[in-house]
Amino acid sequence: MNNKNGISAVVATVLIILITVAAITIVWAAIIPMINNQLDQGTICLDAVSQLSIMDAGYTCVDLGASELSIQIKKGAKNFELADIQVLISSGGNVESVNLVSSGAYKLEDLPGSNEEKVFILDIAGMGTVDSVKIAPVVKVGNTQEACSVSSTKTLLEC
Protein backbone atom coordinates (compact mmCIF):
# COMPACT_ATOMS: atom_id res chain seq x y z
CA MET A 1 0.00 0.00 0.00
CA ASN A 2 1.01 3.49 -0.73
CA ASN A 3 0.19 5.73 2.30
CA LYS A 4 0.96 9.34 1.46
CA ASN A 5 -0.26 12.00 3.82
CA GLY A 6 -0.58 15.47 2.34
CA ILE A 7 -2.54 18.65 2.61
CA SER A 8 -5.83 18.59 0.80
CA ALA A 9 -6.62 21.24 -1.79
CA VAL A 10 -9.27 22.83 0.46
CA VAL A 11 -6.89 23.22 3.41
CA ALA A 12 -4.17 24.63 1.14
CA THR A 13 -6.61 27.19 -0.30
CA VAL A 14 -7.77 28.27 3.18
CA LEU A 15 -4.14 28.66 4.33
CA ILE A 16 -3.27 30.81 1.30
CA ILE A 17 -6.31 33.04 1.95
CA LEU A 18 -5.38 33.43 5.64
CA ILE A 19 -1.77 34.30 4.80
CA THR A 20 -2.97 36.89 2.23
CA VAL A 21 -5.39 38.49 4.72
CA ALA A 22 -2.66 38.63 7.39
CA ALA A 23 -0.21 40.24 4.96
CA ILE A 24 -2.79 42.85 3.88
CA THR A 25 -3.57 43.63 7.54
CA ILE A 26 0.11 44.13 8.40
CA VAL A 27 0.71 46.37 5.36
CA TRP A 28 -2.51 48.30 6.06
CA ALA A 29 -1.49 48.92 9.70
CA ALA A 30 1.91 50.25 8.61
CA ILE A 31 0.95 52.31 5.54
CA ILE A 32 -2.32 54.01 6.56
CA PRO A 33 -0.85 56.02 9.50
CA MET A 34 1.91 57.35 7.23
CA ILE A 35 -0.62 58.44 4.61
CA ASN A 36 -2.85 60.07 7.24
CA ASN A 37 0.09 62.03 8.69
CA GLN A 38 1.03 63.33 5.23
CA LEU A 39 -2.57 64.33 4.49
CA ASP A 40 -2.90 66.08 7.88
CA GLN A 41 0.33 67.99 7.25
CA GLY A 42 -0.79 69.13 3.81
CA THR A 43 -4.22 70.22 5.04
CA ILE A 44 -2.86 72.09 8.06
CA CYS A 45 -0.24 73.91 5.96
CA LEU A 46 -2.83 74.81 3.34
CA ASP A 47 -5.08 76.31 6.03
CA ALA A 48 -2.20 78.14 7.70
CA VAL A 49 -0.85 79.64 4.47
CA SER A 50 -4.29 80.88 3.44
CA GLN A 51 -5.08 82.34 6.89
CA LEU A 52 -1.83 84.16 7.80
CA SER A 53 -1.11 87.49 6.13
CA ILE A 54 0.86 90.73 6.45
CA MET A 55 -1.46 93.71 6.81
CA ASP A 56 -0.87 96.87 4.83
CA ALA A 57 -2.43 99.27 7.35
CA GLY A 58 0.55 101.52 8.04
CA TYR A 59 2.09 99.43 10.80
CA THR A 60 4.19 97.30 8.45
CA CYS A 61 7.23 99.46 7.76
CA VAL A 62 10.95 99.84 8.38
CA ASP A 63 12.51 102.49 10.63
CA LEU A 64 16.11 102.76 9.45
CA GLY A 65 17.00 105.33 12.13
CA ALA A 66 16.03 102.95 14.93
CA SER A 67 17.05 99.84 12.97
CA GLU A 68 13.62 98.31 13.55
CA LEU A 69 11.23 96.41 11.34
CA SER A 70 7.55 96.60 12.27
CA ILE A 71 5.23 93.90 10.87
CA GLN A 72 1.46 93.72 11.38
CA ILE A 73 0.35 90.08 11.00
CA LYS A 74 -3.25 88.88 10.79
CA LYS A 75 -4.52 85.36 11.45
CA GLY A 76 -7.87 84.35 9.93
CA ALA A 77 -10.73 82.44 11.53
CA LYS A 78 -9.75 78.88 10.55
CA ASN A 79 -8.53 76.80 13.44
CA PHE A 80 -4.97 75.47 13.25
CA GLU A 81 -2.19 75.30 15.83
CA LEU A 82 0.35 78.00 15.05
CA ALA A 83 3.69 77.10 16.67
CA ASP A 84 5.79 79.97 15.31
CA ILE A 85 6.04 82.47 12.46
CA GLN A 86 9.09 82.51 10.23
CA VAL A 87 9.92 86.04 9.03
CA LEU A 88 12.08 86.28 5.89
CA ILE A 89 13.76 89.69 5.65
CA SER A 90 15.15 90.67 2.23
CA SER A 91 18.04 93.12 2.10
CA GLY A 92 19.93 93.76 -1.14
CA GLY A 93 19.22 90.34 -2.60
CA ASN A 94 20.07 88.47 0.61
CA VAL A 95 17.33 86.89 2.71
CA GLU A 96 17.67 86.37 6.45
CA SER A 97 15.24 84.14 8.33
CA VAL A 98 14.05 84.90 11.87
CA ASN A 99 11.54 82.81 13.82
CA LEU A 100 9.54 84.96 16.23
CA VAL A 101 9.15 82.38 19.02
CA SER A 102 12.21 80.14 18.70
CA SER A 103 14.53 83.17 18.46
CA GLY A 104 13.32 84.23 21.89
CA ALA A 105 11.99 87.59 20.67
CA TYR A 106 8.38 86.63 21.44
CA LYS A 107 6.44 83.97 23.35
CA LEU A 108 3.91 81.54 21.91
CA GLU A 109 1.12 83.48 23.63
CA ASP A 110 2.17 86.62 21.70
CA LEU A 111 1.24 85.10 18.32
CA PRO A 112 -2.13 86.19 16.90
CA GLY A 113 -5.21 84.11 17.70
CA SER A 114 -8.23 83.58 15.45
CA ASN A 115 -9.28 86.84 13.74
CA GLU A 116 -6.55 88.81 15.50
CA GLU A 117 -3.95 91.23 14.21
CA LYS A 118 -0.73 91.88 16.08
CA VAL A 119 2.31 94.07 15.46
CA PHE A 120 5.78 92.56 15.88
CA ILE A 121 8.95 94.65 16.04
CA LEU A 122 12.27 93.09 15.02
CA ASP A 123 15.80 94.46 15.33
CA ILE A 124 17.43 94.77 11.89
CA ALA A 125 20.74 96.30 12.95
CA GLY A 126 23.52 95.30 10.57
CA MET A 127 21.20 94.13 7.78
CA GLY A 128 21.54 97.20 5.60
CA THR A 129 18.62 98.52 3.59
CA VAL A 130 15.67 96.19 4.05
CA ASP A 131 13.58 95.87 0.86
CA SER A 132 10.77 93.47 1.65
CA VAL A 133 9.48 91.01 4.19
CA LYS A 134 7.76 87.61 3.84
CA ILE A 135 6.13 85.40 6.45
CA ALA A 136 5.67 81.65 6.59
CA PRO A 137 3.65 79.86 9.27
CA VAL A 138 5.19 77.11 11.36
CA VAL A 139 2.44 74.72 12.47
CA LYS A 140 2.21 71.79 14.86
CA VAL A 141 1.57 68.45 13.18
CA GLY A 142 1.29 65.81 15.88
CA ASN A 143 4.43 66.08 17.99
CA THR A 144 6.49 67.89 15.36
CA GLN A 145 6.65 71.39 13.96
CA GLU A 146 6.39 71.88 10.21
CA ALA A 147 7.42 75.03 8.34
CA CYS A 148 4.95 75.83 5.58
CA SER A 149 5.34 77.84 2.39
CA VAL A 150 5.46 81.63 2.33
CA SER A 151 1.97 82.98 2.93
CA SER A 152 2.41 86.72 2.43
CA THR A 153 4.93 89.20 1.00
CA LYS A 154 5.16 92.97 1.49
CA THR A 155 7.47 95.56 -0.02
CA LEU A 156 8.49 97.85 2.82
CA LEU A 157 8.17 101.59 3.08
CA GLU A 158 9.94 103.75 5.64
CA CYS A 159 7.99 104.59 8.80
The CATH number that applies at residue 120 is 2.60.40.1930
CA dist 114 to 18, 41, 143, Å? 51, 20, 22
Could you report the per-residue pLDDT of 86-108, keeping only the tens digit for each? 999 998 888 999 999 998 889 99
- Give the CA count within 13 Å in the CB-facing half-sphere of 1: 3
Domain that holds residue 84: 1-159
Q: Express the helix, strand and coil content of the chain in percent, nearest 5 each.
A: 30, 35, 35
Could you report the per-residue pLDDT of 66-80, keeping only the tens digit for each? 789 999 999 999 888
What pLDDT score does 31 carry? 84
